[in-house]
């Protein structure tokens, strides 16, 4: 099984509930076809560098997962057909990218722990 990273942008006119529904749809596609998630991140609404479909912002989501390569084609067809998705990008991670992502997650956890201990000391 290979490891992939998919980032997709949802249109900003969706409600919070519609956004969650769209994200769950793609989570379901991945898990139903034997994929397993390494990381799911909601980056929130971000402003674009240039307009896309006459919109200047969108909701960003990141999935990092392990699956067979055959799933990627099916997933991308679904992403292309969905009107809620403005853009998406899927990248196959090599061993260096996987190590980099693991280090980045470890640093985030360490920073969060340090912040918690400093908050406890203040109180």
pLDDT tens, position by position, 65-98: 999 989 999 999 999 999 999 999 999 999 999 9
Residue 123: per-residue pLDDT: 65
Q: How confident is the model at residue 61 (pLDDT cuts 50, 70, 90)?
A: very high
What distances in angstroms separate CA 87 from CA 64, 82, 107, 111, 114, one per listed residue?
A: 17, 10, 29, 31, 36
What's the pLDDT band for 1 if we cut at 50, 70, 90?
Answer: confident
CATH 3.40.50.1010 fits 2-94, yes or no: no
Contact in structure between 11 and 88 (CB atoms under 8 Å)? no
């Amino acid at each position: 099984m290979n490891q992939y990273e998919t980032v997709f942008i949802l249109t900003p006119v969706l409600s919070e509930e519609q956004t969650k529904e769209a994200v769950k749809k793609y989570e379901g596609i991945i898990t139903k076809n034997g994929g397993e998630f390494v990381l799911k991140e909601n980056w929130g609404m971000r402003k674009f560098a240039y307009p896309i479909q006459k919109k200047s912002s969108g909701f960003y989501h990141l999935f990092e997962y392990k699956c067979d390569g055959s799933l990627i084609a099916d997933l991308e067809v679904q992403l292309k057909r969905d009107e809620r998705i403005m853009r998406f990008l899927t990248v196959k991670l090599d061993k260096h990218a996987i190590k980099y992502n693991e280090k980045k997650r470890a640093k985030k956890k360490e920073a969060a722990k340090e912040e918690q201990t400093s908050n406890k000391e203040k109180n």
